[in-house]
Amino acid sequence: MLNADRIVHGLDGDLLHELYSPPEIQKRVSAMARELSSRFRGEPTVAVCVLRGAVFFFSDLVRQLQIPDLKLDFVGLSSYGAEQESSGRVDVTRWLSLDVADANVIIVEDIVDTGLSMRTLMERLNGASPRSCTLCALIDKTAHRTCKVDVDYACFRVSDGFFVGYGLDFAQKYRHFPGIYELERSEQ
């Protein structure tokens, strides 16, 4: 159900229906940070940002983690091109720089949709022998799951829709918008 009270006008007639405001997002991110901190506080841990959609989620999350032995790394995956549907193929565009052997790895991902991206990443990560691997998603989108992946922590669970803002783009647009919005494209 779209909230008609909170509509932002995007480019080319797009309408952005705000689902989660910046304070709502921060509340969920802080709660996740507390859980992760109590779980990994005394252990070597590497938080891995999945570029580019998770960029703001990652930066807000890791700055609240109370894990002294925490390192940060980045991977790049690409599956969408300029479309709203996954292409069904995942390209690794950037791989880890750090050695994660014997560290707890926290993967920080924007959206788990079909699960293909995360399955691809986890399979490759397992080859790097981490002590553990925990998947944190901003949004767990469940309607189109085709690969079994365990989303250990999610800020929000939704069934379906296409979302932009807070790092999420549509054809590179709307990443910098502060809330999370469902995109309604204008008829062209």
- Counting contacts by CB under 6 A, is residue 177 touching ligand 5GP? no
Is 29 a binder of ligand 5GP (CB under 6 A)?
Answer: no
Span from 15-23, 33-41, 57-65, 162-170 in contact with ligand 5GP (CB under 6 A): 162-170
> Among 9, 31, 15, 60, which Cα is nearest to 167's?
60
Binding site partner of 164, from Mg ion, ligand 5GP, none, Cβ cut-off 5-8 A by kind: ligand 5GP
Contact between 113 and Mg ion by CB under 5 A: the answer reads no
Closer to Mg ion by Cβ: residue 76 or 178 = 76
DSSP strands (E only) in the chain: 7-9, 15-20, 45-51, 70-78, 91-94, 104-112, 132-141, 153-158, 163-164, 180-184
**b/e map 52-68, b = 16+ CB within 10 Å:** bbbbbbbebbbeebebe
Q: Give me the least distance between CB of 85 and ligand 5GP, in Å please.
A: 9
Task: Please tell me the total number of residues recorded for the chain in this structure.
Answer: 188
- In terms of CB distance, is 65 or 112 closer to Mg ion? 112
Residue 136 binds ligand 5GP, judged by CB under 6 A: no
